[in-house]
Amino acid sequence: MNRQFPKSLHDLGFSGLAAVLAAAGVVPHHAKALWRALYRESALDLSACDFLPPLQRWVHQSVGAGKAFFLDVPEVVDEIRSTDGLTRKFLLRLCDGQIIETVLMGYDARQTVCVSTQAGCAMGCVFCATGRMGFVRHLRPGEIVAQVLHARRILQQIHPHKRLRNLVLMGMGEPLNNLNAVLQALDIISDTRGIGIGPSKIAISTVGVVPGILQLAAEARPYRLAVSLHGSTDEERTALVPAGRRWPLDTLIDACRSYGKTTGKRIFFEWTLIAGTNDAPQTAVRLAKLLDGIDAHINLIPLNPTDGFAGTASPSGLAFQKILLAAGFPCTFRQSRGIDVAAGCGMLQAAKRRVSLPDCDSTRPITE
């Protein structure tokens, strides 16, 4: 496939879409109708849309197999539903054959989609199934957007009156290592003329990529930030999160302080509780001291079991939480979703590999 063409229409922001039409001699005003079809109507086939003649001709000439543009519509390789009916996990095949995971989660009135930002992941977190797969490639903006569109189509089929309200970038991959594509995708997803998920309902989760955190602060991005911490000392953290060797805790916490001071936003710190590893009372005390002065909310996460990691879920979560609450930090447990459908990052894909087919943290969304 030529690296320039065909190109996905879902990679283009509104101004880019208008520019493409203008270059083809189509009045840019038609970009509104095209944008609405792509994002408000989640169109799978533009040729079936009722456009005015100039735009209809352009679609016929320019969009489709063997033409200049295509739509990102990933193939569903597998779908597994939780026994409670609230979580659906999708294994999606991209146009080059790479496979990613997307999870649709229901919480009463709230509907949340967890999306991937990379195929595989280079971070190597020891308790994450995706981390053990290694990095394959970054996703394009359109491939990120396409996951949201897929989840919304499914939601419209099963619950026509419910709206997809929350988005968490906690699927396969490290979002801040693919930040430009992520931000382009989020500009599309949050555009009120289309999908319209509000920025305050969008969370970017990072293992602690300091340059990305500082870029989000410098650009005053309106999205919420979640930082996977998991350790209160460098030794404790790097045993679980190898990226901690590149960005030690003092560097990471300084970046978080800078982010909070610059943006005025609360940071969500994620802590996966692992028995005998990071759940001791003295660890909670060190964590409270580490985050002192930061507007922080601590999310305690029950460990999802994954092959290849011998750790077990901690029975000491309530005692750990009590210490942090006493130190003045909001501290909550994530409400688990989809454990029975292997909803942790990379778990379904790994299972498919075992039966010969390639950490969305599917827990309560932090964007409440």
Structural tokens at position 25: 């001699």
Name the active-site residue from 114, 125, 128, 345.
Answer: 345
Which segments within 207-342 are labelled E, that is strand?
224-228, 267-273, 296-302, 331-333
Dihedral sign for Cα 105, 231, 120, 186, please: positive
Name the active-site residue from 79, 101, 256, 368.
Answer: 101
CA nearest 243: which of 317, 148, 144, 176? 176
What is the 8-class DSSP label of residue 305? P
| Alpha carbon distances (Å) from 275 to 10, 91, 158, 278, 333 | 44, 30, 39, 7, 16
User: For residues 30 and 35, what is the distance between their CA atoms, to the nearest angstrom?
Assistant: 9
Cβ count near 245 (within 10 Å): 10
User: Does the annotation count 114 as an active-site position?
Assistant: no
What angle (nearest 5°) sits at the alpha carbon of residue 178, between those of residues 152 and 80? Answer: 35
Contacts of 4 (CB under 8 A, 6+ apart): none
| Alpha carbon distances (Å) from 119 to 84, 93, 206 | 29, 10, 16
User: For residues 205 and 225, what is the distance between their CA atoms, to the nearest angstrom?
Assistant: 6
User: For residues 66 and 170, what is the distance between their CA atoms, to the nearest angstrom?
Assistant: 34
User: For residues 258 and 212, what is the distance between their CA atoms, to the nearest angstrom?
Assistant: 12
CA nearest 246: which of 176, 172, 347, 293? 176
Query: Which residues are designated catalytic?
Result: 101, 345
